[in-house]
Amino acid sequence: MELKIFSGTSNPSLAESAANSLGLPLSKLKLQRFPDGEINVKIEENVRGKDIYLIQSTSHPIGDNLLELLLIIDAACRVGAERITVIIPYLGYARQDRRVTGIEPIGAHLIASMLRATAISRIIAVDIHNPALEGFFRQPLDNISAVPLLAEMASKSKAGIVVSPDLGAVKLAERFAAFMSLPVAIVHKSRITGTEVKVHTVAGKVQNKKPLIVDDMISTAGTVEAAAKALLTAGCLPEISIAATHGLLVGPASERLKRLPLKHLFLTNTISIQPEIDLPIEIVDLGPLLAEVIRRLQNQESIIDMLVHL
């Protein structure tokens, strides 16, 4: 069956990279806004009876990109697409997977409910903050891992130890360590606010070693900054590298990272990185990875070796 690749406005360069890797052009989609801010979508190609792959991260502005995704899905359904696969490289609201105080919503469940109401057949995401979110969705959700590609690039850092900046990233650190044949250290912390954390202890032999701090995302950089300071206090070498799949880099993130002896910041392009950010960023292009996922799905081949395994 013929396939078409569409892109929303959140990250067209990633979608173009995936399409180019498959030797295909991006399909034509017109997105415009009415004066009051309403999003208008027009699919400008014949997609009747065809397989559609739609690439759109729900990153900042999350609300706009999420609504844009839903409108494109609805448009594709209404003009006769046979099957719609949504590729969401960065899934927003994934951190809101439970009620912490009992007086807030479960945002991830709400997003899943919204997508559940659409005509999509499958969802592809990359390194979801909590892989257990798969249970929120009616449609099959495949959580693709960017760790092998990130670990390969991060090997240039000559790190001597992989560091988990909190208990939540331990399994991720273990996956990096397995690929890089390195030991693991863990920073124990507690969160004070949405942007501030407090470190308690560092578990692991980090003295006189170059650390590679790994996490699934860097938002305000509060967690990695606190971890880096704790590592320096514990005697690690002042040559810190950081690797993360999703580089949100919002709020005080840039200033916090600039204060560190940061040698490398390895990120993927699940989110467009603003060119004015003055940090030693090295980008892993996930376009070929997404292209391989599309190719295998289209040919009814297994993608089991590409998934996150905990």
Question: 268, 245 in Cβ contact below 8 A?
Answer: yes
Beta carbons of 137 and 109 less than 8 angstroms apart: no
**C-beta separation of 268 from 150 below 8 A:** yes
Whether 189 is catalytic is yes
Catalytic residue among 4, 50, 189, 210, which?
A: 189
Q: For residue 68, which of 77, 79, 78, 57 has the smallest C-alpha distance?
A: 57
How many CA within 13 A on the CB side of residue 15? 24
Q: What is the residue whose two structure tokens read 């739609």?
A: 54
Burial code (b: 16+ CB inside 10 Å, e: under 16) for 242-270 equals bbbbbbbbeeebbebbeebebbbbbbbbb
DSSP, collapsed to helix, strand or coil, labels residue 148 as helix
Q: Parallel, antiparallel, or unpaired: how do β-strands 197-203 and 184-191 relate?
A: antiparallel
Gap between the Cα atoms of 77 and 185, Å rounded:
48
Please list the active-site residues. Answer: 189
